[in-house]
Amino acid sequence: MTNMTRKLLLLGGVLAFTVCVTAIVKAQFASRHDPVPTYSKAVDYKDGDWKWSESKTGTVKGSLTFSARRPQQPVVVYLVKLGADDKPGEQGLFDAPDDLSVSQKGASFEPSFSVLVRKQKVKFLNDEKSEISHNVYFLGDIEADLGIFEQGESRAHEFEKAGEVSVHCSIHKRMDGKFYVAPNPAFAVLESNESSFEIKNVPAGKYKLHTWQKQKRFKDFETTLEVTDGGTAEVTVEMKR
Amino acid sequence: MKRIAKCAVVSLLAVLVGACSSTPSYPQPQGTEGQILVQLRGEAKEGVSGPKKREVRGEYSVTRESVEKGANFERVDYDEIEDVVVVVRRNGVEPSPPFNLNRKDDTGTLELDEDGFSRQQALSWLVTDKAGKTYASQTLKNGTEAAVTVFAFSDDDGFEVTIQPGKQATIEIGSAGIFEVFCDEIESAHCFLYVTGSDDAWIGSSDDSAFFNDLAPGDYTVTVYPPRLPEWSKRLTVAPGKRETVTAELTVNKLPKVSK
């Protein structure tokens, strides 16, 4: 066996070993990272961000009916994962989507409304053209004060808890906004011209489906449903008074 | 010398009259019943000055107006927060029908124009009529040039009404609660309507005080709902023939501070 042959055999061995190790690592990675949930008009998640403990997933599909004139403002449909005792349990681990930037130019929040996911960070930027101070504070399910910040400064806040939050400035009379913080990424935002939704890649398990209305006009709807591996749970969301 | 003394007496009287007219006088508690006086104190965020205003002289009057750049920049005036709602509840006693039909309180009309509602908060009392029907009513006026649909929903009750331009409508609500009122046509229109079965509720400005008379002795909770600010609440005990005075701070300064 010549030196050249020996070198080629060694190189082939190293290559084969590398391919095997890569395959094993990939398999390990795939078993720990579930598919990304997708839903209508919501935040885009990058592949691999969703780290729910279960890997089997299904779909929740539904339509909304209204007993009277439907709201002109969005309705949010969201899922809460239930524990073994049928009460809201751990919502799983997931990487939050990108930070949301909120401008304060002209003493108004832009965007003035957004649906967030728990753990998502919102950055408020005082981007006024002149020297005007702003403050940001939250009321509702989350109450906090981010302090006063001058032109060019910003403050960020990570929403740890789910719920409705109204956003205000304590200096300016009409500077208001609103957020809804969903407990996990399995939600859909329906605008006034939409009446159906589909939430894909939801980890298998038992859930409670809820609604939240930006401008409350009906009783909020809730129902329990089960997501099975590869299955589709269908639901009719009836908004009544 | 006499003239100087006369002037001094007149000045002293003027000062006394002025002081009496600016301080509201409340009746003293009588017999076995007590009173609660809720003084309201708005407080701006630490380090923030109040609104900048200038005097505008009219033919017969002088008013003050904001010198901020535009409506968006108008500052909150913590010395005069409008539409503050104060509710006093006796602990462990739920108000139940029949409610006082002859209530004289009149919270006025809620008007709507292109900028939104005329008030940030309104208050209505439940009454029970002779037929046994219990309801609260609120008049809504459409000051815009188009028909509007106004609606609200609390936890389990609500209303919806379409009002033609320049017209008004009176809505009836059958249960107590806090109703968030919206309008389909004007996205910024937003107002809270407090419907209560308790006689002991008040709405007014923070430069005034809420006074509650003829309260049976016992434990009470005072809750203050200022618009856009955190609620303030306090439990207290009303003793026979005594007045309890509390000061409610209307401020964001007590919210948990988060800075990142």
Chain A residues with beta carbon closer than 8 angstroms to that of B252: 135, 137, 145, 170
The CATH number linked to B120 is: 2.60.40.420
B173/B212 same-domain check: no
Query: CB distance B153–A69 less than 8 Å?
Result: no
Å between A11 CA and nearest CA of chain B: 52
Please tell me the pTM assigned to this model: 0.81
ipTM: 0.83
Mutate to test the interface with A, among B76, B83, B231 (most CBs of A within 10 A): B76
Residue B52 lies in a domain: yes
Query: CB distance B257–A217 less than 8 Å?
Result: no
B110/B51 same-domain check: no
Q: Provide the mean pLDDT of chain B.
A: 86
The tally of domains found in chain B comes to 2
Residue B184 lies in a domain: yes
Residue B11 lies in a domain: no
Tell me the per-residue pLDDT of A52-90, one tens digit each, with 9 for 90 and over.
555 688 999 999 999 998 888 999 999 999 988 888 887
Residue B15 lies in a domain: no
| Best CA proximity match to A232, nearest among A202, A196, A188 | A202
Q: Token pair for residue A64? A: 């909304």
Residue B210 lies in a domain: yes
| Best CA proximity match to B199, nearest among B89, B37, B83 | B89
Segments in chain B below pLDDT 70 = 1-23, 47, 49-53, 64-70, 101-107, 259-260
pLDDT value of residue B13: 54
pLDDT tier, A35 (very low <50, low <70, confident <90, very high otherwise): very low
The CATH number linked to B85 is: 2.60.40.1120
Listed as own residue / partner, the contacts of B102-110 with beta carbons closer than 8 Å and 24 or more positions apart are B103/B127, B103/B199, B107/B138, B107/B203, B108/B139, B109/B139, B109/B140, B109/B141, B109/B168, B110/B138, B110/B139, B110/B140, B110/B141, B110/B181, B110/B191, B110/B193
Å between B253 CA and nearest CA of chain A: 8
Residue with tokens 């539904």, as numbered in its chain? A62
Query: CB distance B153–A170 less than 8 Å?
Result: no
* Structural domain of B53: 28-93+200-255
B138/B219 same-domain check: no
Residue B14 lies in a domain: no
Question: Are B64 and B50 spatial neighbours (Cβ–Cβ below 8 Å)?
Answer: no
Weakest-pLDDT range from A20-29, A146-155, B225-234: A20-29
Chain A residues with beta carbon closer than 8 angstroms to that of B180: 215-216
pLDDT value of residue B6: 63
Residue of B nearest to A158 (CA): B260
Query: In angstroms, how far is CA A211 from the centroid of its own chain?
Result: 15
Domain A52-239, CATH class in plain words: mainly beta
Tell me the per-residue pLDDT of A41-50, one tens digit each, with 9 for 90 and over.
334 444 334 4
Distance CA B55, CA A82 (A): 61
